[in-house]
Amino acid sequence: MRTRSKPTSAVYVSQGVKLRFEDYRHKAKKTNLQVVLEAITAKHGQLADIIKASAVSTAPVGGSLFPSDPSAVRYLGGGAVQIGFSPTPEQENVLDALGEELGFSTRSTWIAPILNAFLPGRKDS
C-alpha cells in the first residue's frame, strides 16, 4: 500500500480558467502545484486588489445603501471545476496565512481569481 506524504488540495474554478490552466501547464511543462504557486507568487503584491476587483455580488439588492450579503458574493474565475494540487505542509501554512490576510477560510475562494488574473488568454469577466 502506497501512502501519500502530501495531502491533495483543490481549487474550484470556472471551465474557462481550467482550460487556460491546462494549456499553460502543458506548454510550461509544470505540475498543477507549480502553476498555482507561480500564479500566487507572480501576483503577490496585487492579491487584495485582484480579489476586490473580482468580487461579483449576486444579491438582488440594488443601490449602495445596504452592503451585499457576503454569502451572495462570488469571484471571477471561481466555479465548479476542480484543479487538484499537493502542497507540502509548509506551503499549506503559507497558503492559509495568505488566505487569512485576505479574509478567507477557504483557499478555493481566493486562489481561483488569482489564477484567472495570472493565466494567459481570455479572462473571466
13-47 pLDDT, tens per residue? Answer: 999 999 999 999 999 999 999 999 999 999 999 99
pLDDT in tens, 60-94: 655 566 666 666 678 899 999 999 999 999 999 99
pLDDT for the residue numbered 16? 97
**Average pLDDT value for residue range 110-116:** 96
pLDDT for the residue numbered 3? 47
Q: In whole angstroms, what is the distance from residue 47 CA to residue 106 CA?
A: 15
pLDDT for the residue numbered 58? 66
Q: In whole angstroms, what is the distance from residue 108 CA to residue 93 CA?
A: 15
pLDDT for the residue numbered 106? 87
Closest CA to 40 of 81, 11, 80: 11
C-alpha cell at 103: 479574509
pLDDT for the residue numbered 64? 62
